[in-house]
Structures are given as C-alpha cells and as structure tokens.
Structure 1
Amino acid sequence: MTILVFGGSSQIGHFLLPRLMDRGESVIAVSRRARSTPAGVRWLQGQLPEQVPALPPLSAVISFGPLQPFADWLAATSFATAPRVIATSSMSAETKRDSAVPAERAISQQLRDGESALAAACARHGCAWTVLRPTLIYGAGMDKSLTPIARRAQRLRVFPLPGGRGLRQPVHADDIAQAVLAALDCPAAAGRILPIGGGERLPFVEMFRRVRRSQPCATLPLPLPGALLRACARALPRLRGPLNRLDTDLIADNGELQRLLGIHPGPFDPDPSMWVPPR
C-alpha cells in the first residue's frame, strides 16, 4: 500500500522521503505548491484541512505540519483500512506551558489540544498513532531558529553570543526522520507521545559558539551580557519569552525513544551546509 506524507517539503520531509524511497515504499506527498522532487514520489497539491482527492488505500499517514488541521482532516476522511499515523508536535507543549508570556502559554495549549484531537480522530478510525515532540530542529537550512542567525552573521560578519546558563538539546531533522521510520515498524510505540532531543545537552552559549565555528567565513564574536538582555526583555515584549528562558533548560528525555525505537540522535556538530536550504 501507500504512505501519505503531509509536510514532505519540510526539513524533516527532506530527509524522510529519500529514506522511504530507499525502503521501496509507494509515497504520496502533499504540498501547498507543485513540486517535482525527489524522484519516485507522487506529489499532490493541497492544504489541510481540505480534503485530498483520489487517495489509494494507505498503510500510513505522516504529518509534520500543525496538529489541529491534520486532526480535523483525519476525522473527516474515510479510509479503506486503518493506516498507521505518525505526527510531530513540539517540546514547546511542555516548555511553554508555564511561560510568563500569554501568547506562549496559548501555543503550548494549542499543541496539547492538537495532540488530543489527533488521538481522538485516530480512535474513531481504529488507527494506531504516535506523536513525536522534538526539541529545537536543525540540519536542512530551513529552521526558523538557528539558520536565520547563521545567515545574518554571514552577511554582517558579526556573530552574537548571548549569555545563558540554560541547557539546549538541538536535534537533527534526519534523526527525527529515522525515528518516524522506526515508529512505523514498532507496534509498542502506538498511543505514545515521545520526546526527541539531540544526543547532546549543552549550555545555550556553547550552542551559539558551535554555530559560529561552523560558519564558512570569519565573524566577529559579539558577547551580549545578561544585563543588556534583561533590558531588552523589558523593552521588547515579543522577545520576553525567549530571553527569559536563557537560563532555563529546554531538553528532552530520550529514554522512551531509545527503549522503544532504538533511536540514538547524534551530538550537535553543525557544518556550513546545514545553513543552506535545499534547492
């Protein structure tokens, strides 16, 4: 049968689709605009929660997009068989739960509501499901966290190094893709929400130093002292949440991931290619 992938053009999909093809899977990927790569993937144009036409019997449905639209689509779709369902959420479901910023608490709640809606839609169809909660994702030049910082530093030749004692656990998008494949083959992962972080926990400032070392050009380090950042947090409400978390650990417990799926994500070792989006 066929595997349907929403978000095939995302950073995780960039690594997952070739791995699915290597396994000899029949793959349909859905994108908001027409695409032609990789070879062997059938692309459909569409956007959740709209119906996706002309679907064959599916062995699995995978989604890397927003949870609630995906859950709404699942609930409204009829399936010839009960496909395996794998989706990604975010560790923000937990790390932003008690944020001092109302908008961030709302994001946390939306994520958890989406997870619940997904579980309910799968129960309706009798589908086994697994949700992965990644930490900060990197690796394909498509993330909206480290990649913009790296590119800006390349343009300006200055690299900010904000102080922060909190630990970070960046996870490569290909490690998440491998976890998706493992979950497809693991009945014991059904009905579980699994955190997934990188294989290394490192201080916030060290994460930035490694990104700087990975630059293809020399950059001037620009330390940003804590007093300056606290002043920015007071003056710029939109930055209050991220700046207030500089001394907070944003990490994941990979214990269940390793026990159930046998996945051991790699350490944070970026290189220049990771800040360039795929063509």
Structure 2
Amino acid sequence: MDAENTPPSPVLVLGATSLIGGFLLARLDAAGLEPMALSRQPPGDDVCWLEGDLSDPDLDEALPHAATVFSLSPIWLLPPALPALKAHGLTRLVAFSSTSRFTKQDSPEASERAVARALAEAEQQVEAFCAEHGVAWTILRPTLIYLEGRDGNVSRLAGLIRRFKVLPLSGRGEGLRQPVHAEDLAAGALAAAGAPAARDRAYDLTGGETLTYRVMAERIFAGLGRRPAILSLPPGLFRWLLTLARPFYPGATATMADRMAQDLTFDDAAARRDFGWSPRAFRPRF
C-alpha cells in the first residue's frame, strides 16, 4: 500500500475479537497505523481496546474519532451504528458480509433463509447510508472462513476426525468448496481500504483453491498428520445420522448432507484486479 492511499490514523476495528480481528490489528500496527478495537469484552492486551456494543443506544459515547472503520462484526449489526460512526468522522468503511447471502437464500431451513435475508438487507442499508452521507464503502463476502483450531467449519471437522478417527460423508462429497484463511482476509481488507478502485463496490473473496468437499476433508486429515479415513454413506442415511446428532453437534441439519453435493463457488477475479487479492492454497496445519 503506497503512502497516498494509506488510511489516516487512527483506524477503528469493530468486532476485533473475531477470527480476522487479530490478524488485521497486527497488519495495521505493522503499517504504522494506530488501531483501536471495539468489543463487548476487551481482552486487555497491548491494543487500544474500547468497551462497547454496536446495539447499545449509548454507543456514541464509546466511539473515538476515526475516518476509516473496518467492520468484522455480523453486518446486520452495522446499519444502526452508522449514524454514530459518521458523527465521529467516518469517511471510509470496509465491512465483511458473507457469500451465505447467496448460498442460503433458497435453503430448506428457515433459519438459513433468515440469515441470507439479514445479510442482503444489511448490505443494502449500508450501501444506501454511505451513498447518502458521502462515505466510501467496500463490502467483502468471504466463502468458507477457516483458522486452524478456532473456526466452526474446518476446525470442527478436524475435531470430529480427532475424536472418531473416521469422517463420514454424504455420498461422494463432490460439491466444490473454496476455503479462505482468516489471515488472508485481513490482508485483503487492508488492501481494499487503500485501493481507489475498490470504493463503492462489493467483492466475493474465495480461497486460493477450488476443491471438492472430499478433497477438502483429505487435506484436513493431512493437516492433522493422519492418513485419510473417509466413509461415504448414502445421502438418506447421512441425513438420518445428522438428525440423531443434533443434541451432540449444535448446528447439525439435514441440509448439511445435501450441501456436500452442491457447488458453493464464486469468482474473485474483480478482487484480484482491483486490490491484488491473492489467497493461499488450502493446506491447513493443526
């Protein structure tokens, strides 16, 4: 990032305790910027932490002056906070959403459809507010985010492998995936903030590889130092097992079985062109 396009200091990070947060704070500090982090439960390390909640009616009192804001919180929490952020100097916003806006909009599960609607509505509200108040915005939609040992997707599969030694799949697991590392997303967010071409645009951010669910699982075995032990089950049987597992595996739904055969892929060419998006291949290490 050249000096001309470097965000002014200080920079405010919302949701800084998220998977992406620690990496972004470190990159901001390395770039000579002063990061300030807002959280409901500040961890109290060397970063300038501010205690606050985006849904708090007294949020205005907790906010510092900051022209550039990175929002790592669920994007549906952001629109009500925008007036307060603008009053404290907001001119540049980089906010994370999710490709779940598209992949879950027709889900058989009502809860997943609700998530897709919330994402879409929040994106529209953010764009409308920024256009009306002269704030340059960028919305980033990652695919499957992972951070070894901390995420609820890849690391959850790793936990199942550790516990049961064998990983069952629905059918052949041929649905395509593009897992993206949290550290790469932090680098992409900072690059987007300083790229004029990224202003007033939304981007889908994918990982560096497109691979089948089965190959993704094999890479997780490799990251654990284990030989793959994958059990392909008939989809109907797998759905039944997921239903039984709900009390022990929060978030398990029959839809997960169907999704293993679906391609959940996106095109990141615009991000590569506009701010040099260059994510790593999927080689997790646990």
Report the TM-score when normalising by structure 2: 0.86
- State percent identity of aligned pairs: 38
Q: Which runs of 5+ in 2 are unaligned?
A: 1-8
SS in 1 for 2:67: strand
Offset at residue 216 of structure 1 (A): 4.8
Structure 2 contact 72–95 (Cα < 8 Å) conserved: yes
Report the AA paired with residue 248 of structure 1: Q
For residues 29 and 233 of structure 1, what CA distance do their matches in structure 2 show? 38
**Among residues 31, 48, 52, which one is paired with 1:46 in the alignment?**
52
Offset at residue 234 of structure 1 (A): 7.9
- 1:188-208 Cα offsets, whole Å, 9 max, x none, are 111111000101000111111
Per mean C-alpha deviation after superposition, the further-off stretch among 44-53 and 200-209 is 44-53
Counterparts of 1:183-262 in structure 2, within 5 Å, are 183-216=192-225, 221-232=230-241, 239-262=253-276
Q: Which runs of 5+ in 1 are unaligned?
A: 273-279
Partner of 2:180: 171
CA RMSD, aligned part only?
Answer: 2.3
Report the AA paired with residue 271 of structure 2: L
2:191 pairs with 1:182? yes
4+ aligned runs moved over 6 Å, structure 1:
233-237
SS in 1 for 2:95: strand
Offset at residue 232 of structure 1 (A): 4.6
Partner of 1:69: 77
SS in 2 for 1:90: coil
2:283 pairs with 1:269? yes
Partner of 2:3: none
For residues 175 and 229 of structure 2, what CA distance do their matches in structure 1 show? 24
Partner of 1:128: 136
For residues 71 and 42 of structure 1, what CA distance do their matches in structure 2 show? 24
Offset at residue 57 of structure 1 (A): 2.8
Distance 1:231 1:155, change over 3 A: closer
Offset at residue 92 of structure 1 (A): 0.6
Distance 1:78 1:259, change over 3 A: closer
Offset at residue 238 of structure 1 (A): 5.6
2:124 pairs with 1:116? yes
Partner of 1:277: none
2:151 pairs with 1:143? yes
Structure 1 contact 133–193 (Cα < 8 Å) conserved: yes
Report the AA paired with residue 6 of structure 1: L
Distance 1:271 1:116, change over 3 A: same
